[in-house]
Structure 1
Amino acid sequence: MAELLCKRLGEADYLPTFEAMKALTDERNADSPDELWLLQHPRVFTQGRAGKAEHVLAPGDIPVVQVDRGGQVTYHGPGQWVLYLMVDIKRRGLGVRALVDVIEQAIVDLLAAYGIAAAPKPEAPGVYVGADKIASLGLRLRRGCSYHGLSLNVDMDLEPFSRINPCGYEGLQVTSMARCLPGQALDMEEVGDRLLSAVAHQLKQ
């Protein structure tokens, strides 16, 4: 099985991270290890390739960055873990749908460990607690390799999601682990470690 490097990058600005993902994908070869990057971003909206401007309602002081992943607009900010997957999916014998399933199952498993019942929706990628979205995902494939990845709302200010139609869905409500577990203290670093482990475990299946 191909080597899998897990990296913790702390808080990292969005644009340099985006450029680093693209560079790694362009420069890798058949022997390059796959990489998972766990990090948090300062406040930013990112708009996918097919993103429609009307879904960005009132960004205010938060920058909007155009990116090359699939999907519409989403928000990243402190208190949310972002995990990027630079994976040679062809080498791992995965298709795009299978990679999405891997990501979603890892998030569902992680949330279950905290007592949060969550599930994906086939028609709208991501993970939901009831009708509320708790995790988003967006991917780009180039040369048989993925980049971009997932975001999981842990304990964050959810107000910026009201400035957009999250993932292009008007009226979609967004939640977080903290909101699902009122009064329960969450260790951000522990959640991040568990998320990294859950995705790595699914990829190694």
Structure 2
Amino acid sequence: MALSTSSLTSSFSSLTFSSQISQQPNTSLSSKQSKSIFIVPILKTPKLVVSATVASPAELENKNPGNYVKSRLSGGFSVPTIIGTGRSKGTIAPLVLQKGNEEVIINYRDAEENLQGDSLRLQCECFDFYKDIIPYKKAWSWQKKIVEEKKALIERNEECPDSLIILQHSPVYTLGTASSEKYLNFDLKNPPFQIYRTERGGEVTYHGPGQLVLYPIINLRNHKMDLQWYMRALEEVVIRVLFSTFSIKASRLEGLTGVWVGDQKLAAIGIRASQWITYHGLALNVTTDLSPFSWIVPCGIQDRQVGSIKKLLKKDQSSTKETDLDHPHDCHLLDVTHDSLIMEFSEVFEVEVSKKNVPFSEISEKNF
């Protein structure tokens, strides 16, 4: 049965997320209940309608593998405050109401499903250099520095927003931790472009102008602590971009990572996580010159091709929704794809993306 906000407000008192909570629900919790509904104003958020599931201590431990600091609540209730998640101020953290042996989990994703009023999302700072050609080594070093900064914030239980870097690279080949040199069709002593062996997963790939690269540096404790889920989510971002912006129906291929249109791979994914903080990410071929891929076996896959959005649009003009995209200028095509990537990333990861207006020269001076 659906309950309105007004009826719930008259039935329950509000709980405030703080070290001292003076009010309690005017209804008792029963271990036989499967669902309980509360109006919960948390930090700076508006009142929300959330669903709470009764759970045993064992279930609680499995669902929320964080550390807890107990705060007292009158009437025998206590609210364990989760620490070490790096969750931003003003956002919902998973809560647990406890009275005796009864425990009720209020999860922030449950809350979002029943949100009345303004939406509530995690914050994600975006360093947007998509029009710039950034040397790979600098971007790589910068990612690792951000990861260490985030780990330090989490260790101190301080606010730790997600981060997203968007850019293009000057021509470069990169290999994963266990990449095999047999997939290189050139002499390592005389490579066509610079080559780096990194700590990401996957085989060799190429980065260059016309390819939009996304480096999400996010705390998976705030999302889902599952690397397979994370890679599928990155793929989902690209699949949505291709369909919503260009009516291109892309897909995943069983047993392979990345995003495909037929036998052409448009987006490659290679990631690394350190203490559940992600780095590296995805590369989407938009207007990329594909000829450098001929010097390698991309991602170690020998019976597939590499494609780009531009190449697909030229092959089938009817695949686009907008007439001005039938023969798009390269810069315009990059602009359109970039805007869609940010929008779909925000939707898939349920974050509010806010751009940081910092020139890369300033970042370079501070970090390199």
- TM-score w.r.t. the length of structure 2 is 0.54
Aligned-partner Cα distance in 2 for 1:163–1:61:
8
Question: Is the Cα contact below 8 Å between 1:136 and 1:151 reproduced in 2?
Answer: yes
Aligned-partner Cα distance in 2 for 1:156–1:137:
16
> 260, 280, 293: which is aligned to 1:128?
260
Task: Return 53-62 or 116-125, whichever deviates more.
Answer: 53-62
Following TM superposition, by how much is the alpha carbon of 1:156 offset from its aligned partner in structure 2, in angstroms?
1.4
Q: What percentage of aligned pairs have identical amino acids?
A: 30
Aligned-partner Cα distance in 1 for 2:234–2:242:
13
Following TM superposition, by how much is the alpha carbon of 1:67 offset from its aligned partner in structure 2, in angstroms?
0.6
- Per the alignment, residue 52 of structure 1 pairs with 180
Q: Does 1:4 align with 2:124?
A: yes
- Per the alignment, residue 33 of structure 1 pairs with 161
Question: Is the Cα contact below 8 Å between 1:83 and 1:196 reproduced in 2?
Answer: no
Report the AA paired with residue 185 of structure 1. Answer: P
Question: Is the Cα contact below 8 Å between 1:77 and 1:156 reproduced in 2?
Answer: yes
Aligned-partner Cα distance in 1 for 2:180–2:303:
16
- TM-score w.r.t. the length of structure 1 is 0.95
CA RMSD of aligned residues (A): 1.5
Task: Return 12-21 or 52-61, whichever deviates more.
Answer: 52-61
> 215, 218, 224: which is aligned to 1:87?
218
Higher relative contact order (CA 8 A, sep 6+): 1
In the TM superposition, 1:51-200 aligns within 5 A as 51-58=179-186, 60-113=191-244, 114-182=246-314, 184-185=327-328, 187=332, 188-200=334-346
Following TM superposition, by how much is the alpha carbon of 1:171 offset from its aligned partner in structure 2, in angstroms?
3.8
Question: Is the Cα contact below 8 Å between 1:38 and 1:196 reproduced in 2?
Answer: no
Task: Return 49-58 or 4-13, whichever deviates more.
Answer: 4-13
Deviations 1:63-95 (A, max 9, x none): 111111000000000000000010101222341
Report how many residues are paired: 205
Deviations 1:110-142 (A, max 9, x none): 000202111012311000000110100000010
Task: Return 45-54 or 2-11, whichever deviates more.
Answer: 2-11
Aligned-partner Cα distance in 2 for 1:56–1:164:
5
Aligned-partner Cα distance in 2 for 1:108–1:93:
20
3-state secondary structure, aligned to 2:141: helix
Larger Rg: 2
Following TM superposition, by how much is the alpha carbon of 1:4 offset from its aligned partner in structure 2, in angstroms?
0.7
